[in-house]
Amino acid sequence: MRIVVTGASGGIGGTLVRLAKSRGDYVVGISRERSDADVHYRCDVLDVACLRGVAEEVGRVDGLALAHGHGEEGLWKRDVASLSAEDLLDVFRVDVVGSFNAVKAFLPALGPSASVVLVASTPGIVGDRYGIPYAVAKGALIALARSLAKALAPIRVNAVALGPIETRWTSWVTPEELDEFRSRTVLRRLGRPEEAAEAIYWLLSPASSYVTGHVLVVDGGESL
């Protein structure tokens, strides 16, 4: 497959890049920091002209994984009283508008059997007292994925809703709070980036050829 991964230098995006390459896929990485992709482009998902330029240069694409996301420790633990409307909009722009921008930019390169995967999270379904702006944006991504599945068929569009995956956010909380996140899950542990990447890869691959408009929950049972 020829796969494009946004957020290709991140914890989940970078893991997906390495997984796909290990299986013989040609991987195009897009992020502001260098990635391990076969070819990498430094591009912000809010820079539409940059995304279009990459799409034109890359050509045909079988899969588009939107693994980028707004990440700021300062927003993670702020309560409602200290959050502003702009805080919510900042995350929404990167996560939701950025994903929409990427889909539009690569749409001419996506054939009828192509697959698009948006990376959301369990709090986008059930809510959370942590990272409220992130939960709001991830909920919107789920709605975007389902809408695009209807609008872009036969191109397949799905989302993954990830639970507590062991990436950089774990350094933003105390050991006691990490224990709380573990206790929320039925499996009583955090997920590994490799487990998230495998789920995304399955939705990108022909193995999921009859799956579209679906939200694949990968959360160790957190949302039960």
On whether residue 13 sits in a domain, the answer given is yes
**Residues 120-137: pLDDT tens digits?**
999 999 999 889 999 999
**DSSP per-residue letters across 42-65:** E--TT-HHHHHHHHHHH--EEEEE
On whether residue 223 sits in a domain, the answer given is no
Residue 170 — very low, low, confident or very high, per pLDDT cuts 50/70/90?
confident
Residue 86's pLDDT is what? 96
Residues 40, 117: Cα–Cα separation, whole Å: 19
- Per the CB < 8 A criterion, the answer to whether 210 and 183 are in contact is no
Residue 172's pLDDT is what? 82
Identify the H or E element spanning 121. strand 110-121
Residue 60's pLDDT is what? 97
**Sheet containing strand 26-31, strands side by side:** 39-42, 26-31, 2-6, 61-66, 110-121, 156-162, 215-218
Q: For residue 100, what is the domain's CATH number?
A: 3.40.50.720
Split into its structural domains, the chain has a count of 1
> Cα 142–45–190 angle (5° rounding)?
50
**Closest C-alpha to 120, from 106, 133, 105, 138:** 138
Residue 100 — very low, low, confident or very high, per pLDDT cuts 50/70/90?
very high
| Token reading at 63 | 């899969």
Residues 193, 31: Cα–Cα separation, whole Å: 18
Helix, coil or strand: residue 115: strand
On whether residue 224 sits in a domain, the answer given is no
Active site residues: 134
Residue 169 — very low, low, confident or very high, per pLDDT cuts 50/70/90?
confident
On whether residue 173 sits in a domain, the answer given is yes
Residue 182 — very low, low, confident or very high, per pLDDT cuts 50/70/90?
very high
Alpha helices (H) along 11-106: 11-22, 48-58, 73-76, 85-92, 98-106
Residue 168's pLDDT is what? 84
Full residue range of the structural domain in which residue 16 is found: 2-218
